Amino acid sequence: MFAFTIKRIVQAIVVMLIISLIGFSIKHNFGDPVRELVGERVTPDERAQIRDRLGLNDPFLVQYGRFLVDALHGDLGRSFFFKRPVTDIILSKAPATLELVLCASLIVILLSIPMGIYSAIYPRRLLSRLIMGSSIVGVSIPVFLTAIMLIYIFSVELGWLPSFGRGETIRLFGFWDSGLLTKDGLLHLIMPSIALSSIMLPLFIRLIRSEMMEVLESEYVKFAWAKGLHPRRVWYVHAFKNTLLPVITVGGVQLGIMVAFTILTETVFQWQGMGSMFIESVSRADTALMVSYIVVVGAIFVVVNTVVDIIYGLVNPTVRVSGRR
């Protein structure tokens, strides 16, 4: 187990180094730190001086080393558009995205588990067929289209829900702008979280259903039936517990997909989170901000995946031997 954990951590570090190298070479070739610092109105002489002082004439690898050291200290450069350190900007945008992901995951968990179990227990019932049928339709609808349709129905036609922004927020602990505590903020959260969960929900229903159906066929469940246990006990205690393991593993990996879809959802709803910030930084050619988003999100992914893998290794010893799922 120890060797497995070390191996996974080393791999995570290598991946992070590669991501930072890609990020840095984009910044090195296309960003202009002098412009990010002082803007356009500086004479060429002063510009050259600043370049020298910032060490921009050093060899590539020296600069990359400096970038790494700075990044480890939480300094990823300054945004040319916002005129602030990018770490500050990302930190100020993160709560919006995290709250959105949290609400969407809650919807996914609360709906997919009962629906998945139901359609596994009664695969031939009409409701199960409806669930499975609508899940394949759900997979086929792009998330931004779901969002647009929601806006059209509930904002434009019915006028029930606000169509953009986060509404009223309350500042918690001095840095966390939360929309979860005001009625207005919650109203603004409804449609974005439904849109974001719409893509995960069908996947999870199908996953839970197929895992559960497999478990229901296994020997120990047959034995439980033979013992004459109450059906509910067999389903929820014996069978469901064992479907959770693969579901959690896949769930951890799906987090990445969720982050990718926050970019789309936030763009539609003009949600002031990290995703819309990223797309804006691309269109403004704000290299420093764009690169740091890639690095930060990459780091989140790598950490989550490593942790999920290690937990999986703890629970399921067979992966440790082969080192691979």
Show contacts with other proteins in window 65-84 (CB under 8 A).
Answer: none
Shortest Cβ 48–other proteins spacing (Å)? 25
160 touching other proteins, by CB under 8 A: no
> How far is 52 from 30, CA to CA, in rounded Å?
18
324 touching other proteins, by CB under 8 A: yes
The contact pattern for other proteins, residues 23-62, with x = CB under 8 A and - = no contact, is ---x---x--------------------------------
> How far is 53 from 46, CA to CA, in rounded Å?
10
Residue 85 phi, psi dihedral angles, 5° rounding? -60, 140
Nearer to other proteins, 90 or 143 (CB): 143
Nearer to other proteins, 56 or 259 (CB): 259
SS percent in the chain: helix, strand, coil, step 5:
75, 0, 20
145 touching other proteins, by CB under 8 A: yes
Three-state SS at 124: coil
Burial (Cβ within 10 Å: 0-12, 13-18, ≥19) of residue 311: middle
HEC string of 68-111 equals HHHHHCCCCCECCCCCCEHHHHHHHHHHHHHHHHHHHHHHHHHH
214 touching other proteins, by CB under 8 A: yes
Kindly state the DSSP code that residue 270 receives in the 8-state scheme. Answer: T
144 touching other proteins, by CB under 8 A: yes
The length of the chain is 325
- Contact stretch for other proteins (CB under 8 A) within 47-55, 68-76, 222-230, 297-305: 297-305
The contact pattern for other proteins, residues 244-283, with x = CB under 8 A and - = no contact, is ---------x--xx-xxx-xx--xx---------xx--xx
Residues in contact with other proteins by CB under 8 A are: 11, 15, 26, 30, 136-137, 139-145, 148-149, 151-152, 156, 163, 206-207, 209-211, 214, 253, 256-257, 259-261, 263-264, 267-268, 278-279, 282-283, 285, 287, 290, 294, 297-298, 301, 305, 324
